[in-house]
Chain A
Amino acid sequence: MKNSNSKLIILVSMIIGIGCSSIKNKLIPTDNKGGYKITIENNLNIDPTEIHFVGKVFDVSNREPIANAELVIGCLKIKTNLNGEYSFKIIKSDTEITYIKGISVGYKTIETIFLNLKNNNFVKIDFYLTEDDRPFINCEGIN
């Protein structure tokens, strides 16, 4: 009996110990420090056959708007104006889930999660892009 109690104490201690371990087996974020803020809603003032997208693209480090950034949704490409703003609308289609990429030269691309547009027709996404800090490397095709 005493022996089995000791084993139980050791087992519980191990479980607690593992539980308190600093090793966390979870997904590590990628190198991209950018991100986006999103609002999806159903707006009754919008034509029900359309979906409206608006938003702005910023530099994440200084919050300055990025002009001429490109938003890509499917085959559609839209550029931001000098204030980093964009807006466009698409016709509602059978494809009710989609995603948007925010791209700008010199910045790492941000890609949203899939957006469920089945019951929504207004999407506001502000992209915060981080500068591409990867160095230029000279490989000469030898290795």
Chain B
Amino acid sequence: MRTIYPITKSSILMACLLLFTCTNEPVEVENELVLDSEIEQDDGLSSVPLEESLDFFKSLNTTRVGLTTNSFNLNIDLNSLEQVPISNTDAKLNIAKATTKFNNIETSVLQINIDGQVQTVLFNVIPKDAPQSRTERNAISGYNFTGNIVITNISGIVLNNYAYNSGNLLGEINLNSYNPDPVPCWGIGCGIDLEEVVITAPTVSPYYYAYTNHYLISNVYQWNRSLNNYSTMGTAYANYYRQLAIDEFEENIDETNLKPCLKNILKVLKNIQNGPGNMVAKFSGNFPGYNWVTKSGSLAGQTASTNSPSTYNANSGIITTFDTQAWTNATDLSWARTILHESIHAFLASYYKINRPNWIATYPQMVQDWGSIQNWNGVHHEEIARSLVSAVALALEDYGKMMGYNLSAQFYEDMAWGGLQNTSTFKALSASDQKRILDTIATELTGSDTNSNIKTQKGRNAGC
């Protein structure tokens, strides 16, 4: 059990107010501005001390909440209680695993203080066609999750119920907010099988998003205050575990046969905010669900090559080869960009192989492109040029800052076009933009521009 004593913004704010109250010096305008800014950022969220949660959960275990009315048999695993960081706030969420009378449901207890009130909900993951007895808590650890995520109160009364199919949010089951708990009594809280719940048309109100895999609105994973605190706690929970999955993906990237110079770059990429895992997750709206094997080797003039989807299997993963010996003048920025670029190929290739129907449904434009391009390389590059140049640029900028570079956003954006020079999106750029971009890429890769004029590189030699 981890113990974290968070210093919330509210505390800082209070301390600042006290400090200014005691001083004889006039408060400067600049300080007032800082205060105003902090007041605006106060989100009304604060952590519940773990000891407090522990006592509360103990009492729940003892009293068996709802035993007389719903026989929910909630039993919280006190040893699993932990306090986890969530996005967009300093407050932390207390989470503990729990069991109920339903063996095929993975339940967790979530607790946080919202606007001065301790809120406690249960987060129930119910895979479709789950066996009656489950011992592993892995239902949401795959991006193909199909089933329901049901948020209930501690008596098991359903507050929100989201239906998923292959990782996609189908919608929220309409619980009719005009009938407060416990009447009508829905779903597991009443011991009614979920199949018996009538599913109405999916609700797509932004207030009720728990998860979506659309890259444009994937930020709904973030902690955004909404009219529905229960839903928000659920998204915070999902976000936390999503981040764990991303971290795990990055940690498991196989770099056994990668040269040390690239290992060093990959190590930094794993530690930045927008590293390969997060970049792919933002694009796909979910966390990467594949094994990526990186290695050094000889290629025929390319900087890197990723195997086709047809070669992927869960054991061997998807393999990317980097040819560092052919490009000895390349900078770390050049290789960092190439690694990011290939991570997208690896994701899209694996995702296709793992779930072709879902891939086709998710990327209709690539399916359409296949009709004319008819090869993976071109189709992927069109998609990356269309949708991911900015994401690669952002990730590369994160890398650059981590390495102490002070370079313009334009430079990183130009670098992000590496490998995409044959795409229709690139060709639609003005001739001068194309020239500048190609010169930037060439310089970082070789030390010369496209006219073979020696140029000063912005990155440092990768030492490969």
Contacts and interface: CB of A to CB of B under 8 A. Distances in A.
B421 interface: yes
Contact of A131 (B310, B370, B446): B310
Contacts of B438: 141
A134 B370 contact: no
Interface stretch (A36-44, A90-98, A101-109, A114-122): A101-109
A142 B449 CA distance: 9
B98 interface: no
Interface string A9-45: 0000000000000000000000000000000000000
Contact of A105 (B304, B310, B366): B366
A104 to B, nearest CB: 8
B331 interface: no
A117 B371 CA distance: 26
A140 B418 contact: yes
Determine the main DSSP class of B at the interface with A. helix
B131 to A, nearest CB: 27
Interface in A42-100: 67-68, 70, 72, 77
Contacts of B308: 131-136
A132 B446 CA distance: 32
Contacts of B356: 106
Contacts of A142: 441-442, 445-446, 450
A85 B312 CA distance: 27
B376 A138 contact: no
B285 interface: no
Given A105-B367, A140-B441, A141-B441, A134 B376 contact: yes
A143 interface: yes
B243 interface: no
A136 B301 contact: no
B370 A103 contact: yes
A131 B312 CA distance: 12
Contacts of A113: none
Contact of B357 (A67, A104, A141): A67
A140 B421 contact: yes
Contacts of B446: 142
Nearest to B302: A137
A104 B306 CA distance: 21
B303 interface: yes
Contact residue range for chain A?
20 to 34
B341 interface: yes
A134 B301 contact: no
Contacts of B97: none
Contacts of A1: none
A33 to B, nearest CB: 11
Determine the main DSSP class of A at the interface with B. loop
Contacts of A68: 360, 367
Interface residues of B, number: 40
B273 interface: no
B312 to A, nearest CB: 10
Given A132-B308, A141-B438, A103 B374 contact: yes
B377 A134 contact: yes
Interface string B351-373: 01000110010000011001100
Contact of A103 (B305, B371, B421): B371
Contacts of B445: 140, 142
B338 interface: yes
Contact of A140 (B342, B349, B371, B419): B419
A136 B349 contact: yes
Contact of A136 (B305, B367, B421, B442): B305
Q: Which of A131, A133, A136, A141 has the most CB of B within 10 A?
A: A136
Contact of B352 (A106, A109, A137): A106
A141 B442 contact: yes
B442 A131 contact: no
Contacts of B305: 135-138
B380 interface: yes
B309 A140 contact: no
B375 A132 contact: yes
A31 to B, nearest CB: 12
B11 interface: no
B304 A133 contact: no
A89 B419 CA distance: 43
A109 to B, nearest CB: 5
B307 interface: yes
Given A106-B376, A139-B301, 11 more contacts: A104-B370, A105-B366, A105-B379, A132-B376, A136-B342, A136-B345, A138-B305, A139-B302, A139-B303, A140-B421, A141-B441
14 contacts: A68-B360, A70-B371, A72-B371, A105-B360, A105-B370, A131-B310, A133-B310, A135-B305, A135-B306, A136-B342, A138-B341, A139-B303, A142-B441, A142-B450
Interface of A: 67-68, 70, 72, 77, 103-106, 108-109, 131-143
Interface of B: 299, 301-311, 338, 341-342, 345, 349, 352, 356-357, 360, 366-367, 370-371, 374-377, 379-380, 418-419, 421, 438, 441-442, 445-446, 450
A-B complex: 8 closest residue pairs judged by Cβ atoms? A131-B310, A141-B421, A105-B370, A136-B306, A138-B304, A133-B310, A136-B345, A138-B419
